């Protein structure tokens, strides 16, 4: 089907049949920071509070006609990134070049015009439709806002066309329905119809099938594939589900705490994941194949607080292969002791708790830290506790990052090795941000690469 039943895009952009590598959008050094206003006073006067770097320096070139997957867990910044591409969130810095315009700095009224070409499909189709608007009004509204129709009859015709395009046939049956009268799959179809009704070129789809019943998920994905083919769409597909990403995307970007840690062609990433985080994610997907098992070794802990991300590589506290330059700091030592007590039990905890209670107050991100010695105890006790902990878990990656432990003037000084922020570098066909793949750094022998 070559001729689309929907209006074609403005001339400038209808360069159909162009090379796959045509850049549709270029994201450069994009950062989105949010202010968390944590207390009443801050709320009152504005400002203050913590900053969360939801997107923390992302560079991606979006190619015309491709499906790019943004894959990550909650808090990875994938949704924020997707919304920023559509100008729904103002970035703190960086550029989003689309045509000859920078979406990051576009004024509202100019952005409004662009919205014909940039659209979004949401995770929860129920929430994405105004409960008080029937299907006709919901779909007709973007046309009216954009001034694409002259009268009601024209609007109705376009709405009917779009409904039929997404498989809601006969369209007459759906026109007067309120969202509450539609099933989940039907709602998502209506949301997609609304997204394509103005003839967009890019669709950002934020987990479009994760809230749907199992039996309609495949149908919606199939619909999206059809639309992509028929309307020459480009997709940014945001998901936490690696299985659909593998099936649906041409390229995937794996995100962790606001950064892209690995990006490349889907087949390559799934066949040979390079970043330890990607590897862990892939291994952790429960698969219906009973022969395939989740490994016993999983990254420990959970995604850290985005308001205080770890020093160096954000993944290092959970990474089994972390080594010297990954960004070790005092917090990691505290986590080590928590793990130790979890493993060794209450008695060890009761014995050691008091001695290292000051750990939680230590500054993060510093190479040299002085461990406070509780009153009544002396530094050598603390030192020997650290030595014991090291002797009992010598393979814990943390110890690779500890340069030395000294006792000076009744205080214990701990020096960490300098942490380096990993940058994306090309390895094979993919770009990966991990020191293990930096030839200048020497990963430990047992890292398995």
Q: Is 38 in the site for other proteins (CB under 8 A)?
A: yes
Q: Are 337 and 352 in contact (CB under 8 A)?
A: yes
**Cα–Cα distance for residue pair 206/89, rounded to 1 Å:** 15
Q: Which of residues 303-362 bind other proteins (CB under 8 A)?
A: 303-305, 335, 338-339, 341-343, 345-346, 349, 353, 360
Least distance to other proteins, CB of residue 57, Å: 21
What are the angstrom distances between the C-alpha of 87 and each of 77, 323, 424? Answer: 15, 39, 25
Reduce the secondary structure of 394-407 to three states and give it as a string: CCCHHHHCEEEEEE
* The only residue of 299, 310, 327, 401 in contact with other proteins, by rule CB under 8 A: 299
Least distance to other proteins, CB of residue 308, Å: 8
For residue 311, what are its two tokens?
Answer: 């020093």
Least distance to other proteins, CB of residue 133, Å: 8
**Cα–Cα distance for residue pair 295/238, rounded to 1 Å:** 26
Q: At what angle do helices 152-165 and 184-196 cross, to 10 degrees?
A: 120
Residue 67: burial class (beta carbons within 10 Å; 0-12, 13-18, 19+): buried
Q: Are 166 and 192 in contact (CB under 8 A)?
A: yes
Alpha-helical segments (H) within 325-403:
330-344, 346-352, 379-392, 397-400
Least distance to other proteins, CB of residue 291, Å: 8
Q: Is 395 in the site for other proteins (CB under 8 A)?
A: no
For residue 41, what are its two tokens?
Answer: 């006073």
* The only residue of 78, 217, 400, 437 in contact with other proteins, by rule CB under 8 A: 217
**Cα–Cα distance for residue pair 45/42, rounded to 1 Å:** 5
* The only residue of 159, 162, 175, 433 in contact with other proteins, by rule CB under 8 A: 175
| Bridging pattern class, strands 50-63 and 23-36 | antiparallel
| Bridging pattern class, strands 93-98 and 23-36 | antiparallel
Q: Is 298 in the site for other proteins (CB under 8 A)?
A: yes
Least distance to other proteins, CB of residue 409, Å: 29
For residue 91, what are its two tokens?
Answer: 């970035």
* The only residue of 1, 12, 19, 40 in contact with other proteins, by rule CB under 8 A: 40
Q: Is 52 in the site for other proteins (CB under 8 A)?
A: no
Collapsing DSSP to helix, strand or coil, 128 comes out as helix
Please give the DSSP secondary-structure letter assigned to residue 439. Answer: T
Nearer to other proteins, 48 or 407 (CB): 48
* The only residue of 267, 302, 388, 395 in contact with other proteins, by rule CB under 8 A: 302
Q: Is 292 in the site for other proteins (CB under 8 A)?
A: yes
Q: Is 267 in the site for other proteins (CB under 8 A)?
A: no
Q: Is 392 in the site for other proteins (CB under 8 A)?
A: no
Q: Is 11 in the site for other proteins (CB under 8 A)?
A: no
Binding segment toward other proteins, per CB under 8 A, in 24-32, 288-296, 399-407, 411-419: 288-296
Q: Is 398 in the site for other proteins (CB under 8 A)?
A: no
Q: Is 154 in the site for other proteins (CB under 8 A)?
A: no
Q: Is 14 in the site for other proteins (CB under 8 A)?
A: no
* The only residue of 5, 10, 18, 301 in contact with other proteins, by rule CB under 8 A: 301
**Contact track, other proteins, 54-73, x by CB under 8 A:** -------------------x
Binding segment toward other proteins, per CB under 8 A, in 258-266, 285-293, 386-394, 433-441: 285-293
Edge-to-edge strands of the sheet including 411-416? 368-371, 411-416, 402-408
User: 267-271 — which CB contacts under 8 Å span 24+ positions?
Assistant: 268/428, 268/429, 268/430, 269/430, 270/242, 270/246
Alpha-helical segments (H) within 117-264:
125-128, 135-145, 152-165, 172-175, 184-196, 214-231, 242-248
Nearer to other proteins, 299 or 422 (CB): 299
Least distance to other proteins, CB of residue 243, Å: 5
Residue 71: burial class (beta carbons within 10 Å; 0-12, 13-18, 19+): buried
Least distance to other proteins, CB of residue 363, Å: 15
Q: Which of residues 73-132 bind other proteins (CB under 8 A)?
A: 73-74, 83, 86, 88, 111-113, 115-116, 119-120, 122-124, 127-132
Binding segment toward other proteins, per CB under 8 A, in 25-33, 57-65, 289-297, 376-384: 289-297
Nearer to other proteins, 149 or 225 (CB): 225
- CB count, 10 Å around CB of 147? 9
Q: Is 37 in the site for other proteins (CB under 8 A)?
A: no
**Contact track, other proteins, 371-390, x by CB under 8 A:** --------------------
């Amino acid at each position: 089907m070559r001729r689309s039943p929907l209006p074609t895009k403005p001339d400038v952009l209808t360069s159909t049949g162009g090379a796959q590598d045509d850049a549709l959008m270029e994201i450069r050094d994009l950062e989105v920071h949010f202010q968390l206003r944590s207390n009443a006073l801050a709320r009152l006067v504005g400002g203050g509070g913590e900053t969360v770097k939801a997107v923390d320096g992302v560079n991606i070139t979006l190619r015309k006609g491709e499906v790019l997957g943004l894959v990550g867990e909650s808090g990875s910044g994938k949704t924020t990134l997707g919304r920023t591409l559509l100008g729904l969130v103002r970035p703190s810095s960086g550029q989003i070049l689309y045509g000859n315009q920078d979406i990051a700095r576009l004024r509202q009224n100019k952005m409004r015009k662009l919205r014909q070409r940039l659209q979004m499909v949401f995770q929860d189709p129920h929430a994405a439709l105004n409960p008080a608007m029937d299907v006709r009004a919901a779909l007709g509204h973007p046309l009216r806002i954009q001034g694409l129709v002259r009268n009601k009859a024209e609007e109705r015709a376009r709405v009917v066309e779009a409904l039929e395009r997404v498989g809601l046939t006969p369209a007459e049956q759906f026109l007067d329905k309120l969202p509450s009268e539609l099933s989940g799959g039907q709602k998502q179809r209506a949301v997609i119809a609304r997204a394509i009704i103005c003839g967009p070129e890019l669709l950002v789809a934020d987990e479009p099938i994760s809230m749907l019943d199992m039996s309609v998920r495949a149908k919606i994905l199939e619909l999206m594939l059809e639309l992509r083919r028929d309307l020459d769409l480009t997709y940014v597909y945001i998901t936490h589900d690696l299985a659909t990403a593998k099936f649906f995307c041409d390229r995937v970007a794996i995100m962790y705490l606001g950064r892209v840690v690995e990006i490349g062609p889907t087949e390559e990433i799934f066949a040979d994941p390079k970043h330890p985080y990607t590897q862990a994610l892939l291994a952790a997907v429960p698969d219906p194949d009973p022969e395939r098992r989740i490994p016993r070794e999983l990254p420990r802990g959970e995604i850290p607080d985005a308001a205080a991300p770890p020093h160096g590589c954000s993944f290092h506290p959970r990474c089994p292969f972390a080594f010297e330059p990954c960004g070790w700091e005092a917090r990691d030592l505290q986590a080590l002791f928590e793990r130790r007590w979890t493993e060794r039990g209450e008695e060890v905890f009761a014995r050691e708790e008091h001695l290292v209670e000051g750990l939680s107050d230590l500054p993060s991100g510093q190479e040299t830290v002085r461990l406070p010695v509780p009153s009544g105890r002396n530094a050598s006790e603390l030192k020997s506790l650290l030595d014991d902990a090291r002797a009992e878990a010598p393979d814990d990656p943390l110890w690779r990052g500890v340069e030395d432990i000294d006792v000076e003037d009744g205080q214990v000084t701990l020096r960490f090795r300098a942490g380096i922020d990993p940058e994306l570098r090309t390895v094979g066909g993919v770009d990966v941000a991990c020191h293990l793949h930096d030839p200048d750094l020497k990963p430990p022998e047992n890292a398995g690469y």
